[in-house]
């Protein structure tokens, strides 16, 4: 088991690092509804400063869509892999590769919403990904998971179920944060740098594995069990503090 110690102080110039960040539970505290999260001006400023110091080698790797990430952090625009890598914007002002919503997933969302939607369970439709949030009704997580797993047998091949900290998601097999990290690492300004990834949930584990393979630094926030991450931090404030200490004032190459 990894993740038994706090992450180190980085000892390379800023221009030798590539930074990948999950959003919810890593940079932002979770809320009872995904739209209720709060982004402070201080956090926007910190990320903008880090992005400049790294010469652009900063990207969100998130389950949020690119459009939602932009809305949350407006006016800041960063490179983003959204929907666990099913959407990409490889440059801040570049085009967004958008994932379509299959009709069978939309129908499943309708069915689950009809059963659970009135019980403080939020059904989030994210193109080919269906997320069932039970943070406001944790007693319904088991039922939501059962419904999604039951539906999996009725869907075409190529889907999987991911159980998270406060919900369950149905997503295509190709939705993988590790693949998104690898893709960014093949292009400037990420290529040739040492990668760092901070995340907090089960879907981030695939990203940690990719980072470890590349000889980078993998950090899980608030782990609830075994993790592939090499290091751990206790909470969101600790994660932001570590970013400030290591990237906000890190030496420019």
113-129: b or e for each residue (b if 16 or more CB lie within 10 Å)?
beebeeeebbbbebbbb
List all residues 6 or more positions away from 121 whose beta carbon is below 8 Å from its beta carbon. 132, 133, 134, 136, 137, 140, 144
Q: 235 catalytic, yes or no?
A: no
The gap between the terminal CA atoms of the chain, to the nearest Å, is: 35
Q: What is the enclosing helix (H) or strand (E) of 46?
A: helix 41-53
CB half-sphere exposure, 237, CA atoms < 13 A: 0
| Residue 140 contacts residue 166 (beta carbons within 8 Å) | no
The partner residues of 194 in beta bridges, in order of sequence, read 17
Catalytic residue, candidates 22, 70, 201, 204:
22
Interaxial angle between packed helices 141-152 and 103-116, expressed in degrees from 0 to 180 and rounded to the nearest 10:
150
Residues with catalytic annotation?
22
């Amino acid at each position: 088991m990894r993740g038994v110690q706090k992450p180190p102080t980085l000892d390379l110039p800023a221009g030798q690092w590539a930074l990948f960040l999950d959003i919810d539970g890593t940079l932002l505290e979770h809320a009872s509804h995904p739209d209720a999260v709060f982004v402070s001006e201080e956090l926007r400023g910190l990320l903008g400063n880090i992005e400049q110091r790294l010469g652009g080698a900063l990207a969100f790797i998130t389950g949020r869509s690119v459009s939602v990430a932009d809305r949350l952090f407006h006016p800041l625009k960063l490179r983003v892999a959204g929907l666990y890598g099913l959407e990409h914007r490889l440059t801040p002002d570049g085009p967004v590769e958008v994932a379509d919503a299959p009709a069978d997933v939309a129908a499943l969302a309708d069915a689950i919403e009809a059963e659970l939607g009135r019980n403080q369970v939020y059904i989030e439709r994210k193109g080919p990904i269906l997320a069932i949030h039970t943070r406001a009704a944790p007693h319904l997580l088991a039922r939501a998971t059962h419904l999604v797993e039951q539906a999996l047998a009725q869907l075409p091949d190529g889907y999987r179920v991911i159980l998270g900290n406060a919900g369950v998601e149905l997503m295509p097999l190709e939705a993988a944060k590790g693949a998104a990290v690898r893709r960014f690492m093949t292009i400037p300004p990420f290529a040739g740098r040492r990668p760092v990834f901070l995340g907090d949930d089960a879907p981030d584990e695939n990203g940690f594995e990719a980072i470890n393979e590349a000889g980078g630094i993998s950090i899980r926030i608030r782990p609830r069990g075994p993790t592939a991450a090499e290091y751990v931090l206790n909470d969101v404030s600790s994660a932001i503090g570590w970013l400030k200490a290591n990237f906000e004032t890190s030496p420019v190459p």
